[in-house]
């Protein structure tokens, strides 16, 4: 179920500053995709490999949807590509699929998505809804100007229409310009408190995808309540081949320090075993090289 042939961009939508949604004809991957998986894009011959989480796919149309934030030279240039252009190759689907359990009717699966965490969260939340679970989506953005997928004709609203009361959505913005003011941890704490007090749904599981500091804050909070939490760590991957070592995640299991690789063992990793003090600095490891590369390319 792997594919690696040239694949054409069939549609493209500007979502927010520096963020594009790109739909690519890729029928083999679309047919095999499962929630939580990612692909490895070779944008052009001799380019660098770019791992991207599957934000959506359409088996009938044979397309996959990628949401790309232009941060490095390659992602900025990928976002400048047009409908009709082709990527040199896309391999996938890769990574372990999300573990989807059917939980009890009085439980909920809580997603905390920070900014660009919403696209990778979306198919996992949908899979839980399709399995019959109640889902609470807490989707946070820095400010109202950075919102995407939140309008009445967009994906989150479509899920709400399809699944009704099975899905609760809470938006947060850091500056209070949309939804609840503050971070995703605010509503999460209220849900965990209500569950502990017996006045709200039991939180079966928390899934967190977003900026590293946010994932850590979510992990620290849910640990206090003893609620299983997984972090999806695609954002740390570089080549997603298991060989570069860039995606190493320091974890502690039974008091032993162990290394996991997000691209092989993940992308989802139990957030409560991650040694966040050691892990967080790794997210900035290529900042200087990315900046130098952008400057070389005049971006
Ligand atoms: Fe290179 Fe995982 S991304 S080893």
Task: Give me the domains of the chain, ranges plus CATH numbers.
Answer: 7-93 (2.40.30.10), 107-284 (3.40.50.80)
For residue 112, give every residue at least 6 positions away whose Cβ sits within 8 Å of its Cβ, in sequence order, or none. Answer: 138, 140, 184, 185, 188, 206, 207, 208, 209, 210, 214, 218
Q: Are strands 135-141 and 167-173 parallel, antiparallel or unpaired?
A: parallel
Q: What's the CA-to-centroid distance between 32 and ligand 1, angstroms?
A: 22
- Residue from 92, 236, 245 whose mutation best tests the ligand 1 pocket (most atoms within 8 A of CB): 245
Give, for all 299 residues of the chain, the pLDDT tens digit. Answer: 344 455 899 999 999 989 999 999 999 999 999 999 999 999 999 898 888 999 999 999 999 999 999 888 888 999 999 999 999 999 999 989 999 999 999 999 999 999 999 999 999 999 999 999 999 999 999 999 999 999 999 999 999 999 999 999 999 999 999 999 999 999 999 999 999 999 999 999 999 999 999 999 999 999 999 999 999 988 777 777 888 888 888 899 989 998 898 888 888 999 999 999 988 887 766 566 666 665 666 66
State the distance from the centre of ligand 1 to the C-alpha of 56, rounded, in angstroms.
23
Is 244 touching ligand 1 by the criterion CB < 6 Å? yes
Q: What is the CB neighbour count within 10 angstroms for residue 72?
A: 20
Both ends of the chain: CA-CA distance in Å?
Answer: 36
For a ligand 1 pocket test, name from 232, 244, 266, 283 the mutation site with the most ligand atoms within 8 angstroms of its C-beta.
Answer: 244
- The full length of the chain comes to 299
Q: What is residue 2's predicted lDDT score, i.e. its pLDDT?
A: 43
Give the per-residue pLDDT at 245. Answer: 82
pLDDT of the residue at 3: 44
Closest ligand 1 atom to residue 261 Cα is: 2
pLDDT of residue 290: 63
Contact, 81 vs 74, CB < 8 A? no
User: Which of 240, 250, 265 for mutating ligand 1's site (highest number of atoms within 8 Å of CB)?
Assistant: 240
Any ligand 1 atom below 6 A from CB of 48: no
Nearest CA to ligand 1 atom 1: 244
What's phi and psi for 134, nearest 5 deg?
-80, 140
Angle at 52 (CA atoms; ends 174, 82), nearest 5 degrees: 95
Rounded to two decimals, the pTM is: 0.91
Q: Is 94 in the pocket of ligand 1 (CB under 6 A)?
A: no
CA of 220 to the centre of ligand 1 (A): 26
Closest-lying ligand 1 atom to the alpha carbon of residue 263: 2
């Amino acid at each position: 179920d792997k594919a690696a042939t040239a694949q054409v961009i069939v549609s493209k939508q500007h979502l927010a500053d520096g963020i594009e949604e790109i739909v690519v004809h890729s029928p083999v991957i679309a047919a095999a995709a499962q929630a939580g998986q990612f692909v490895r894009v070779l944008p052009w011959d001799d380019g660098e490999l770019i791992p991207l989480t599957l934000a959506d796919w359409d088996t009938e149309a044979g397309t996959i949807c990628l949401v790309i934030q232009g941060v490095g030279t390659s992602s900025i240039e990928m976002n400048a590509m047009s409908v009709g252009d082709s990527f040199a190759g896309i391999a996938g689907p890769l990574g372990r699929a999300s573990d989807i359990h059917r939980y009890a009717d009085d439980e909920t699966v809580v997603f905390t998505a920070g900014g660009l965490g919403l696209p990778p969260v979306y198919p996992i939340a949908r899979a839980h809804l399709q399995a019959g679970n109640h889902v609470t989506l807490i989707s946070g953005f820095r400010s109202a100007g950075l919102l995407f997928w939140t309008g009445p004709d967009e994906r989150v609203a479509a899920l709400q229409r399809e699944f009704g009361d099975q899905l609760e959505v809470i938006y947060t913005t850091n500056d209070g310009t949309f939804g609840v003011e503050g971070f995703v941890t605010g509503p999460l704490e209220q849900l965990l408190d209500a569950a502990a007090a017996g006045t709200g749904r039991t939180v079966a599981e928390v899934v967190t995808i977003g900026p590293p500091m946010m994932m850590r804050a979510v992990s620290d909070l849910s640990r206090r309540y003893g609620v299983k939490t997984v972090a999806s760590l695609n954002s740390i991957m570089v080549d997603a081949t298991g060989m570069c070592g860039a995606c190493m995640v320091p974890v502690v299991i039974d008091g032993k320090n162990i290394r996991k690789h997000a691209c092989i063992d993940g992308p989802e990793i139990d957030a409560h075993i991650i040694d966040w003090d050691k892990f967080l600095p790794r997210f900035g490891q290529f900042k200087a090289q990315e900046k130098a590369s952008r400057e070389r390319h005049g971006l």
